Structure 1
Amino acid sequence: MGKAGTDKAARTTAQIEADIARTRTQLATTLDELAVRVHPSTIAAQTKAKLLGSVEEKAGRAYVAASGAVEQLKAQFTDEKGQPRKERIVPAALVGVGVLLLVASVRRRKRG
């Protein structure tokens, strides 16, 4: 046997007991950590955090898309200086008024 073999043979009972105690402590710690990981409240909290992260990410993407759409729409009705383009606003307003009058007319016919 080499030197490593004689070192193991030369271990005292106290050393062996200390190793066993250390191993028990490590095992108890590991079991406690596992118990926390698989506890329903821990799993629920992790799932909730993942869902919230997903919702926030999608909401952020939607906000960016909506913001871009608003900017494009704004660009259609304002010039480079930010002044309103009457030649585009007036026809759009007339179409809006026409749609409102049409909806009101249809509602009146349904009531009457």
Structure 2
Amino acid sequence: MSQPTDQTPGVDEIEADIARTREQLATTVDELTGRLDVKSRVKGRVEQTKQDAARRVHVARDKATDPDGRPTPPAIAGAVAAVALVALVVWWRRRR
């Protein structure tokens, strides 16, 4: 057998390189698996959307009520305007 020289890698170096390559391959496979798992991605997106909606409802509720929990005048005006608009549309559609 020939003696290893400075230019030829030793057994330990080759084994370390194989271990690094396996680690990189495992990481790549895990990333691809995550990208291809549509069901879990959809569940994550649904959960994120629910959290966003809950946050927005909380912000809107805070804006529409005073510190005592009573509706603010702009909120009351908006509600009255919405009811009036719905009543107008119903009335208009029945006339046709």
- RMSD between aligned residues: 2.6
Gap change, CA 1:86 and 1:78, over 3 Å in 2: closer
1:69 alignment partner AA: R
Paired position in structure 2 for 1:105: 91
Q: Tell me, in whole angstroms, the C-alpha distance in 1 between the residues paired with 2:77 and 2:42.
A: 39
Matched letter for residue 54 of structure 2: S
**Alignment pair present for 1:77 and 2:64:** yes
Q: From the two aligned structures, give the one with the greater helix fraction.
A: 1
Percent identity of equivalent pairs: 20
Identify the residue that residue 40 of structure 1 maps to in structure 2: none
Provide the C-alpha distance between the structure 2 equivalents of 1:54 and 1:62, rounded to a whole number of angstroms.
12
Q: Indicate which of 59, 62, 66 corresponds to 2:53.
A: 66
Aligned partners of 2:66 and 2:72 also within 8 Å = no
Where has structure 1 moved over 4 Å in runs of 4 or more?
A: none
The alignment status of 1:96 with 2:82, answered yes or no, reads yes
Number of residue pairs matched? 65
Distance 1:78 1:67 in 2: 17
Is the radius of gyration larger for structure 1 or structure 2? 1
Unaligned runs of 5+ residues in structure 1 are: 3-45
